[in-house]
């Protein structure tokens, strides 16, 4: 237990499991009050319940812009104010350039890129007016490799998240709001295991540190970016990949 986020309020999307839930656990242990949001209504309620009664749960499909923005506005009201947004909600389905359907493309781009922007847009005026705030987006190693072990729309969407992060960091810096992103590599989560991509097994064997990452590794990096320890960092894309990509 610590107090690095004592008194801070946090909204985490994609919070029911995997990286999102690990982030919630880590932030709660550091004193934050959380609003957990996820498309899985039962899952997000169960996740919030494990953290304590002070934390909120909300059903949210980030690809549904009008509904998600309205829900986020309501959650800010419930929390009283919002200090930190973690744009973690993601969707991946393994496909190739030859097999990718329009439905595959739309869902991956809608969740992984459009959802990130419009969830951020929902909190920007609040953070601007308070002249304080922090946004952590979830990019990916796929943004740099082209998503060859994931899917064409996944890599394209995550590259968009990286570019969007830099744009928002520039726009919001005059208001004291920091915007950064994390770029996980091969992380041992249900989503990654469920993609059944042959490329992920090959990439995992090439990790210089010798093992896949854990959701907790991403949560620790997110905590750093969200804390005052990173007060002079904005517009940065932080790689968390065991050395699989070095630059």
**Which are the catalytic amino acids?**
154
Across 108-125, b (16+ Cβ under 10 Å) vs e yields: bbbbbbbbbbbbbebbbe
Distance of CA 27 to the CA centre of its chain: 13
At residue 34, what are phi and psi to the nearest 5 degrees? -115, 145
CA distance 105 to 93: 10
Question: What is the four-CA torsion angle of 21, 182, 9, 74, rounded to 10 degrees?
Answer: -80
Question: What is the four-CA torsion angle of 91, 115, 45, 29, rounded to 10 degrees?
Answer: 90
Q: Are 237 and 139 in contact (CB under 8 A)?
A: yes
* Of 236, 117, 122, 241, residue with least CA distance to 186: 241
């Amino acid at each position: 237990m610590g107090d690095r986020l004592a008194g801070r309020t946090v909204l985490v999307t994609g919070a029911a499991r995997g990286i999102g839930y690990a982030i919630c656990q880590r932030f709660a242990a550091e004193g934050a009050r959380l609003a957990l949001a996820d498309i899985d209504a039962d899952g997000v309620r169960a996740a919030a319940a494990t953290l304590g009664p002070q934390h909120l749960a909300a059903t949210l499909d980030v690809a549904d812009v009008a509904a998600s923005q309205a829900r986020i506005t309501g959650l800010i009201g419930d929390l009283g104010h919002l200090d930190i947004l973690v744009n973690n909600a993601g969707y991946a389905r393994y496909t190739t350039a030859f097999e990718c359907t329009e439905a595959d493309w739309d869902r991956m781009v809608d969740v992984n890129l459009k959802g990130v922007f419009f969830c951020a847009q929902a909190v920007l005026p609040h953070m601007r007016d308070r002249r304080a705030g922090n946004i952590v987006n979830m990019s990916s190693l796929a943004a740099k490799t082209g998503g060859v072990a994931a899917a064409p729309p996944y890599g394209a969407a995550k590259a968009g998240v990286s570019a969007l992060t830099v744009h928002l960091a520039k726009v919001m810096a005059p208001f004291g709001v920091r915007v950064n992103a994390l770029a996980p590599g091969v992380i041992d989560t249900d989503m990654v295991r469920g993609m059944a991509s042959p490329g992920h097994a090959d990439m995992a064997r090439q990790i210089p540190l010798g093992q896949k990452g854990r959701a907790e590794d991403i949560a620790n990096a997110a905590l750093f970016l969200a804390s005052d320890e990173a007060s002079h960092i904005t517009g940065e894309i932080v790689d968390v990949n065991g050395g699989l990509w070095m630059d």
